[in-house]
Amino acid sequence: MTAPLVGVSTYLEASARWGVWDLPAALLPAGYPRLVQAAGGLAAMLPPDEPGRAAAVVSRLDALVVAGGPDVDPALYGAERDPRTGPPAPERDAWELALIRAALASGTPLLGICRGMELLNVALGGSLRQHLDGHLGPDTGVFGEHLVKPVPGTRYAALVPEATSVPTYHHQAVDVLGDGLTAGAHSEDGTVEALETGTGGAWVLGVQWHPEMGADTRVMAGLVTAARG
């Protein structure tokens, strides 16, 4: 069976260093393509582009992953900027919103990771909490871990039926759920840790943690299986 082609959105950085070079770069932590590959998919990087081209890009994919990254611009969900919210990433916001909407319109299986889950919620009319404590790692740039408990009967629970310790690094989270979305998992403090559309429709799942930083492939394997379908 041909391995599904899974597109993964990327960062867009003004400066990145490798070898003798320091240049603008579209980049992605290696954990993302490695997780796609470990789950049986082929990984393709999707750097920011004109939003009007998103549908054409998605039409060539079997599945889409919207990766983690900077905070979503609160203007996109009608909120004033909290001083603790990071600087905006307008190119990524516009491109990834267009990718998400194209995937939803076409029924392309979709996985949002951390920022990707937050942006999925915003794309469907939901809002975010701009700051919460206890979900970043022990230090800047260091992932932490906490327990995530699945909601019985959800798509996420079918993939991971038990409470699981997951790699985490975020300070924002879902507030009001977007239209048609339900919570698939919570942390012990009640934070929504996974969200999804109904199990009878297209395969759409978001997780607030970073599965690419761990060894558990079940979430990504669920996306790859849906892509094969």
Torsion of CA 140, 73, 85, 25, to 10 degrees: 30
Determine whether 170 is an active site residue: no
Contacts of 17 (CB under 8 A, 6+ apart): none
Strand partners, 50: none
The answer to whether 46 and 69 have CB atoms below 8 angstroms apart is: no
C-alpha span between 103 and 61 (Å, rounded): 9
C-alpha span between 224 and 229 (Å, rounded): 9
H helices of 77-151, in order, are 90-106, 115-123
Catalytic choice (96, 114, 135, 196) = 114
Determine whether 96 is an active site residue: no
Determine whether 146 is an active site residue: no
Residue given tokens 């319109």 in the structure block: 105
C-alpha span between 221 and 36 (Å, rounded): 8
Residue count of the chain, please give it.
229
Q: Which residue, among 222, 227, 221, has the nearest Cα to 35 in the 3D structure?
A: 221
Catalytic choice (135, 170, 193, 210) = 210
Catalytic choice (96, 193, 196, 212) = 212
As annotated, the active-site residues are: 114, 210, 212
